Structure 1
Amino acid sequence: MDEASPGRRERKKAATRRAIAESARRLFLSHGFHDVGIRDIASDSDVAVTTVFAHFACKEALVFENDHEFEFRLNHAVSHRSADVSLVAALKSELEKMLEHCTSSQAAPLWSMIDATEDLRVFEERMRSRHAITLADAIARSEGLPYPTIACRTVARFALDSFDLARRSPEPLKAVADVFTMIDAAWQARP
């Protein structure tokens, strides 16, 4: 097999990206987000600074390495759901899976750092806003609509905000269930 084949190249790029993100997380958790620079991360990852920026647009993006996967999973849950699964049920199920991972004891230190760092909180809010736009588009397409209606955009935004509300709740899964009860009622009542 040709070592320069696209499959191998893509696997190497993904491995480099993971290694950079893992180094960054470890350094951030050990020394604090603001006390670690891109050069520190590059050195720890044994890559050039330009390589870090080839994979991550900014320092904050290193903390949210799974940003695109999160967005993809929500859009996929909507657009590839079975005919017998409602839009709201599909979103709720996917968010519950994501929430289980993000509320694990392993993820707690990372979320504590995010909650304590204004730059990361702002980045996360912008990320959720961007995801709400693409999710509203996916909802509209799944409903055969030519564009995202107010109902599509509202459901998308509330679904994404439910993640943050539930993550901070003492009973995350109950919080998601409560929010999605309201989302479902609103979706059913749409004009």
Structure 2
Amino acid sequence: MVNTGRRERRKLETRRRLDEVALRLFLEHGYDGVTVAQIADAADISVATLFAHVPDGKEALIFDDGSERRAGIVAAVRERADTESVLDALERFFASRGPYSTKLPAEHAEKRDLIVETPALRSYARRLWHSCEPLLVPVLAEESGLAADDPAVLALARFVLEVPDLTGTAADPLAALAGVFEVLRYGWPA
């Protein structure tokens, strides 16, 4: 067990409080109706302290640092069953997340809906997905036997990382996800 120091515990507690306060305010007033100053005030900290904890601004208060999604997408490819294709593994990975999941607890569903309905948050989520590219490309190259700088590998990685943005706001996100992966598997119909 790692013994976290007092200072680190206080930083984690402040960040947790900021996340909770921001989400509550966003749900009550809409994302665009809340300022960084209002979040700091409601969390009883200064704006400077808020930015020390969240240098990317208020969008980052809704998301983690992206490390979980980067690790998750790589694990989906590397830890898939021998009988499962890379594309099937990636589709399964996305289907269990955010706009595609139908089994989210109410508090997570509210957060998901806020993200889907807020252009600034969708844009930030897109940047987080793009941050997966440097880790996904070598895995796709390894699995395909192609070089990491092969345009086919780069194209697949980039397109796959656009899938949440392309399908997450569809009327039926899961069906849209399936449709995009069908095109990836079988190509564009003649």
TM-score range, shorter chain: 0.7 to 0.9
- Matched with 2:127 is 126
Alignment partner, residue 64 of structure 1 = 63
Q: Which residue of 2 aligns with 1:85?
A: 84
Instruction: Verify: 1:39 aligned to 2:40, yes or no.
Output: no
Residue matched to 1:189: none
Could you say what the CA RMSD is over the residues aligned between the two structures, in angstroms? Answer: 3.4
Cα shift at 1:131: 2.8
Kindly indicate whether the alpha-carbon contact (under 8 Å) linking 2:116 and 2:168 is maintained by their aligned counterparts in 1. no
Helix, strand or coil for the counterpart of 2:83?
coil
| Structure-to-structure mapping, 1:166-177, within 5 angstroms | 166-177=167-178
- Output aligned runs, 1:76-155, within 5 Å: 76-98=75-97, 99-100=100-101, 110=111, 113-114=114-115, 117-143=118-144, 145-155=146-156
Q: Deviations over 1:44-94 (max 9, x none)?
A: 234454443343222221233363322321122123333332211111111
Percent identity among equivalent residues?
Answer: 34
TM-score, normalization by structure 1:
0.72
5+ residue gaps in structure 1?
A: 187-191
Whole-Å separation in 2 of the counterparts to 1:27 and 1:111 = 15
Q: TM-score, normalised by structure 2?
A: 0.73
One-letter amino acid matched to 2:26:
F
Shift of 1:125: 3.3
Q: Counterparts of 2:91 and 2:61 in 1: how far apart (Å)?
A: 27
Unaligned 5+ segments in structure 2 are: none
Distance 1:16 1:40, change over 3 A: same
